[in-house]
Structure 1
Amino acid sequence: MDEDPIVGYLVVDDFFTREELDACREDLKLMVEELAQKLHNAGKIKKLYRDYGLFERLTMIEKEFPGSNILLHKMKTMPKSFCDLWSNERILNVMEQILGPDIKGHPVWNIRTKTPQNEATTVPWHQDVGYLNNESYKVLQPTAWIPLLDTNEDNGCLQVAKRGHKTGKVADHQCCHGGTWYVMLEEEEMKRKLDIDLENDLKICPIPYGGMLLFNNLVPHRSLPNMSNKIRWSLDLRWQRPSEPVGFYGLKDGILMRTSKDPNYKIDWESFNKIDRHQVQKESIEESESAIEDEFDTTIQGPWMKKWEIVHVNRHILEHRKKEGNPETWTKA
């Protein structure tokens, strides 16, 4: 762990039990099986690849149907094991020390399907607030990045820019990175706007199975390429105070997890899971509640694509522009 107490991140090597994380792995196996069945039944893949395990199977499916990892990334309902991890009593106790007794889960959570050497799973430098609207800029939204295997530089762990939050500023991001839907933050902009020392402040954070990386929403971070032969699975989960805006463009609210008004409060997972975040993102672009998600659509669109300057046009941007119907007028917000 870094000795500086205000670096903006914390490496915790041992926090979750093996049973808690193993349950997430089992649900992931079920999700990969469901995806394989769906693709096979539609004639998209010729084999189910059941002779491969959790850390290889999606890679084989991806070779036959590129973008399979994106389909899994866009999963609609959070499995019980993920819900249990997100609302784990010990992690909420940690969040209570940071946020106070009232805690809401942020609606933007992700399963990372980091298949080897895949651009779609290699996330460039960014601040998390770069994906949200401006009302979130003064809201503290801690993130826990939780790998589902031992991670290191070879298989794509995270890298952070320590003290990247010290100016309290949001740097200018761009969109989109390469062939992806990700916003990106240039290192020179990090240096200029956020006062980051590019030689000394960039820290790679390997995390063992059972550990997590905690950081706040202004700290720039990225995921390194997965150069191993195994899939690097991980979850990123977020929390904040219920009284503050989530900044997700009014598309979906967070989920109340702990309240000082009711020590026996029961989390309403059913209502939270009824709203598909990726679907409402698309509806916000089309301005139509009747927009139907193609179950094999491997593009991702969202309102952040209109927030920043478009410097790379790719299939995600083209799909966004097509749905919006005004393709040539996007400028930096």
Structure 2
Amino acid sequence: MKLIVTGGAGFIGSNLILHLHDNYPNVEILNIDKLTYASDLSYLEPIKQSDRYRFKKLDITDREALRDLFQKWHPDGIIHLAAESHVDNSIKGPEPFVYSNVVGTFNLLEECRLIWNQFGDDLKPQRFLHISTDEVYGTLGDEGSFSETTPYAPNSPYSASKAGSDFLVRSYHHTFGMNTVITNCSNNYGPHQHDEKLIPTVIRKALSGEPIPVYGKGENVRDWLFVENHCNALATVFFKGKTGEQYNIGGDNEWKNIELVNHICDILNQEKGEGPEGDYKNLISFVTDRPGHDYRYAVDASKIKKELGWTPSQDFDNMLRETVRWYMKKYGFNDA
């Protein structure tokens, strides 16, 4: 199978490519990424020389470049992760999110439709897997969780652009019969995540002795999913998911932001020490909440568990500690 992964030099994309390469020996992978600030090809150094992996720098908003690539490579499948994904950045400047997440997804869908109509193979049905977010569902109160039938109610330019791309993918299945699948995942954590995200920010600020910023009172709740668990789920959906379906992927692992920050500080106290007055928690600083900050996300992943047999690992403490150690090494603080 010839598989294209978009955004494969990013956080989830790089982890996914390594997972696919190591576990699916009959798959050839072409990674296309425009190499933004959130990309890092060094994460893929272990497979750089593999004859089953190659990289192409390409912006999915460039329709002509996509068409040329598809005509040359004839992909059998697409796993689409390329997206602008930082909520704060979408508030400061929404335009790149619309172009990348909506227009870029449209370009991919159209070029897939054209190439698969031209070079279709009934013995090897082509599939388009679109990776989205639980943020498209909006916000929750203290009870309940998002299911695949929860109405969309995005509250930020980022989540609105992802909702738009979800609807485009859905339409290409129902209108053109394209073999599409959509996944909506909860917050990911683990190696390769960009420094701007919550967990890397807490680790970096703490180790540098700087204030650890926490929005509002830190009461916002998120469901945390280890990135390797997510990659396993994505591969499961790609190869086993039912066409036209949508699958929620969650970690069954809810934490208030302030509780998670305190937990990371506890790990740093044990792994590194040297926090102010012996405790990195003394660096926590509450800052003005961001506009439209959703209170709580929680994902009901019972569909993927029941239909495809996937379940997340529940070993959160060890996986979070592994993540903290990875960033300590990255930031040069692993000499405890």
With normalisation by structure 1, the TM-score equals 0.26
Which structure's relative contact order is higher, taking Cα pairs within 8 Å and 6+ residues apart? Answer: 1
More helix by share: 2
